[in-house]
Chains A and B, each alone.
Chain A
Amino acid sequence: RKEVEQDPGPFNVPEGATVAFNCTYSNSASQSFFWYRQDCRKEPKLLMSVYSSGNEDGRFTAQLNRASQYISLLIRDSKLSDSATYLCVVGRNNDMRFGAGTRLTVKP
């Protein structure tokens, strides 16, 4: 079993839709959690950190559930420019593990 698992998708949604991704992790000692966005053939870029109390950045909301060992990302009012692969990252000390990513396509 992989340490960090994501549904690979693809998720195909219309503009304006709300879409949610989950990411599960196996190491209960994990300390840090992030969501990254990766466009085709580009480097991953930080979308947002995930805090225990949950956090929001504009149309994006991230949640952490330590008891069930998953993090989530909610995107409201999807834009065409949100089309990308979303990677979850789970860290413990100096070991940062990536999920394989969830592909999102937002269509007009």
Chain B
Amino acid sequence: NAGVTQTPKFQVLKTGQSMTLQCAQDMNHEYMSWYRQDPGMGLRLIHYSVGAGITDQGEVPNGYNVSRSTTEDFPLRLLSAAPSQTSVYFCASRRTGYNSPLHFGNGTRLTVT
């Protein structure tokens, strides 16, 4: 099983550019989420989804959009990249149920210049 697959692994953007980070999972997990990880800050939740057609904001949603048209895919869109969005982004999924752990993709390293 591939698990959670993220693309691209690395990306460099100029300020103001837009892009989409892709995330797909093949475990039939209802819950999918996006985190960003910055030094000393831990992972912070950007957006999450509990099923197709349902999304909600996390801790740091500003500057990001998501949609969930299928169970498998949960893309993250940066509408107008800013240097403050330079970070490592992780997509994660899990089964619903309060004690189900998160399964992570390999991450995307994004630099905005």
Could you list which residues of chain A lie within 8 angstroms of chain B, going by C-beta atoms? 2, 4, 8, 31-32, 34, 42-46, 49, 87, 89, 91, 93-101
Contact = CB atoms under 8 A, between A and B. Distances in A.
A27 to B, nearest CB: 13
Interface in B33-60: 33, 35, 40-45, 48, 50, 56, 58-59
Contacts of A98: 35, 42-44
A101 to B, nearest CB: 6
B104 A94 contact: no
Nearest to B109: A41
A34 B42 contact: no
A1 B104 CA distance: 27
B50 A94 contact: yes
Given A43-B104, A89-B102, A100 B90 contact: no
Given A8-B40, A43-B90, A34 B101 contact: yes
A63 B32 CA distance: 27
Contacts of B35: 98
Contacts of B104: 43-45
A4 B106 contact: no
Contacts, number: 52
Interface in B66-94: 90
B105 A43 contact: yes
A51 B48 CA distance: 25
A99 to B, nearest CB: 6
27 contacts: A2-B42, A4-B42, A8-B40, A31-B98, A31-B99, A32-B98, A32-B100, A34-B101, A34-B102, A42-B106, A43-B106, A44-B102, A46-B103, A49-B99, A49-B101, A87-B42, A87-B43, A89-B102, A94-B31, A95-B58, A96-B45, A96-B102, A97-B45, A98-B42, A98-B43, A100-B41, A100-B42
